[in-house]
Structure 1
Amino acid sequence: MRVFVTGASGWIGSAAVDELLAAGHEVTGLARSDASTAALEAKGARVRRGDLDDLDGIRAGAEAAEAVIHLANKHDWSNPAASDAAERAAVQTIGDALVGTDRPFLLAAGVAGLVQGRTSTEDDASPFHGPDAPRGGSENLALEFVERGVRTVSLRFSPTVHGAGDHGFIALIAANAREKGVAGYPGDGTNRWPAVHRSDAARLIALGLEKAPAGSRLHAVAEEGVPTREIAEAIGRAFDLPVESIAPDEVADHFGWIGRFFGMDLSASSDRTRKLLDWTPTGPTLIEDLDAGAYSVS
């Protein structure tokens, strides 16, 4: 299958490209830099130069493909409105290009914020609608294309897709601990973060492309919820730092913008995803990765 992948050189995307190529697919990755181009070509993938603002290029890539996997996001936390607008525009462009084709359109989403007070499941619809919502309401926008002949599949990733080389949330929390000289956790540390190893997330993407029906919401979740106190304790062991509770009213000052996320309880199940795709995570757990030095300073 000819697959067009945005975010093909990113943390999740680069691993997904490896899985797709190994499965015999022909991959074209969107690349905005010479380094990304070289990395994709070295794997045996084709390259379309451009970025999320190049909507004409994204449209052409989608029209030429038999499937689209949209993993790119600006992740500009200093200007989330710009990131959300770019995300919505890209999803609209891809959806429009695939109308009436019944081709797969897999897009990155997340489990964060789906529900409050219980473990979220694949049955929970995203509460985020419209351009002003997180990620520009892109999951719901993409799912609207199911009725227009597109096999949309939402890839809801854990907030922590971990592994050696990760520069995401856990890397930022570990960096905060080194800077502050203490591995902190919010309040009593019982709030939970779902986690999945990068290799398992990539394998889920390839399986979703092959097996998931239109309208599916897949949860890339290997661990339903790792208590933040356990995360802090592992960071403390990794960097020989004391571990301390951070009072709820001090979380924002201590952790910065990421404190808003680290203080949330985000437990999520992947039972339906595992049964649907026959997907069994096999990678190390988040704590195992931390204890093995995956987030140690190079």
Structure 2
Amino acid sequence: MRAFVTGATGWIGSAVVDELLAAGHEVVGLTRSPEGERKLTAKGAVALRGDLDELGALRRGAAGADAVIHLANKHDWGNPAESDRAERAAVAALGDALAGSNRPLLVASALSGLVEGRPATEDDASPAVGPDSNRGGSENLALDYVAQGVRTVIVRFAPSVHGRGDWGFVNFLTAAARKQSASGYIGDGSTTWSAVHRTDAARLIRLGMEQAPAGTRLHAVAEESVTTKEIAEAIGRSLGLPVVSVAPEDAGPHFGFVGHFFASTMTASSTTTRQLLSWRPSGPGLIEDIDAGAYTA
């Protein structure tokens, strides 16, 4: 298949490109920069210059592809409303380009805010609806395109998609520990995160593109529940720093923006995902990765 991938040079996207090429698929990757173009072409992929605000580029990429994998996100923490609107517009552009084709559209999403008091499952619908909701309601918008002849597949990623070179949440927690000379957790550290290794997430994307039925929600979750205290302890070990409890009211000053997420439980089951696609995560766990120096090299 010829896959058009947004976010093709990002943390998850670059692994997805490698996975697709290794499986014999062709890849067209969206990239904003000459450096990204060089990286993609060096791998044997085709580079398409553009970004999420260039809806014409998104439509062209989708129109010429057998499948679309939408991983890019603006992540403007200072202006989340703008990021949400951009995400919704991008999904609409891709969905419109694929309407009536029965081609797959895989859309990245997250686990936060789905349910309270238990791990989320693939059957749990996102409560985010409309342009002013989280991520612009892009998950439900993408699923609306099933009725228009698009094989929409939602992929919800664990809050930690980890591995050597990760610049996500655990990287920010490690940076905060260095800055504060102590690795912190909030309160009693009993809040929990799900986690998945980057290569396992990339393989799930490929399997979803190849096999998942229209309207499927997939959970890229290898470990259902890792406590935030365990994460802090592993970071402390890797840096040789003490591990301390941080009062909830001090989380912002200590951790920065990531403190809000570290105070939240974000967990999900992937039982249905594994059964549907015979997906068997095989990469190292999050604590194993931290202990191996993935965030201190």
Please confirm whether the aligned pair reaches a TM-score higher than 0.5, indicating the same fold.
yes
Post-superposition shift, 1:177? 0.6
* RMSD, aligned α-carbons: 0.8
Post-superposition shift, 1:113? 1.4
Give the aligned partner of residue 186 of structure 2: 186
Post-superposition shift, 1:85? 1.2
Q: Which amino acid aligns with 1:21?
A: L
Written as runs of structure 1 = structure 2, the 5 A alignment for 1:52-91 is 52-91=52-91
Residue 47 of structure 1 aligns to a residue whose secondary structure is strand
Give the aligned partner of residue 235 of structure 2: 235
CA distance in 1, matches of 2:136, 2:176: 28
Structure 1 spans left out of the alignment, 5+ residues: none
Correspondence 1:5 to 2:14: no
Query: How many residues are treated as equivalent by the alignment?
Result: 297
Give the aligned partner of residue 215 of structure 1: 215
Residue 238 of structure 1 aligns to a residue whose secondary structure is helix
Deviations 1:169-195 (A, max 9, x none): 000011001101111101111110100
CA distance in 2, matches of 1:125, 1:252: 30
Q: Which amino acid aligns with 2:68?
A: V
Give the aligned partner of residue 110 of structure 1: 110
Correspondence 1:49 to 2:49: yes
Q: Extract structure 1 runs of 4+ deviating beyond 3 A.
A: none
Q: Which amino acid aligns with 2:172?
A: L
Is the Cα contact below 8 Å between 2:158 and 2:219 reproduced in 1? yes
Q: Which amino acid aligns with 1:251?
A: A
Q: Which amino acid aligns with 2:171?
A: A
Scaled by the length of structure 2, the TM-score of the pair is 0.99
CA distance in 2, matches of 1:253, 1:178: 14
Scaled by the length of structure 1, the TM-score of the pair is 0.98
Give the aligned partner of residue 159 of structure 1: 159
Q: Which amino acid aligns with 1:102?
A: N
Q: Which amino acid aligns with 2:230?
A: E
Post-superposition shift, 1:220? 0.1
CA distance in 1, matches of 2:167, 2:161: 10
Is the Cα contact below 8 Å between 2:70 and 2:106 reproduced in 1? yes
Post-superposition shift, 1:24? 1.1
Q: Which amino acid aligns with 2:143?
A: L
Give the aligned partner of residue 276 of structure 1: 276
Give the aligned partner of residue 248 of structure 2: 248
Give the aligned partner of residue 202 of structure 2: 202
Correspondence 1:289 to 2:289: yes
Q: Which amino acid aligns with 1:61?
A: G
Q: Which amino acid aligns with 2:57?
A: G
CA distance in 1, matches of 2:186, 2:270: 25
CA distance in 2, matches of 1:66, 1:281: 26
Q: Which amino acid aligns with 1:183?
A: S
Deviations 1:57-110 (A, max 9, x none): 110111111110000011111221121111111000000111111000001001
Give the aligned partner of residue 37 of structure 2: 37
Post-superposition shift, 1:249? 2.1
Is the Cα contact below 8 Å between 2:158 and 2:267 reproduced in 1? no
CA distance in 2, matches of 1:116, 1:15: 31
Residue 37 of structure 2 aligns to a residue whose secondary structure is helix
Q: Which amino acid aligns with 2:9?
A: S
Deviations 1:200-235 (A, max 9, x none): 000000000111000000000000011000000000
Post-superposition shift, 1:264? 0.5
CA distance in 2, matches of 1:179, 1:97: 46
CA distance in 1, matches of 2:272, 2:178: 38
Give the aligned partner of residue 224 of structure 1: 224
CA distance in 2, matches of 1:56, 1:257: 33
Written as runs of structure 1 = structure 2, the 5 A alignment for 1:141-156 is 141-156=141-156
CA distance in 2, matches of 1:131, 1:173: 31
CA distance in 2, matches of 1:88, 1:28: 22
Post-superposition shift, 1:251? 1.6
Post-superposition shift, 1:253? 2.5
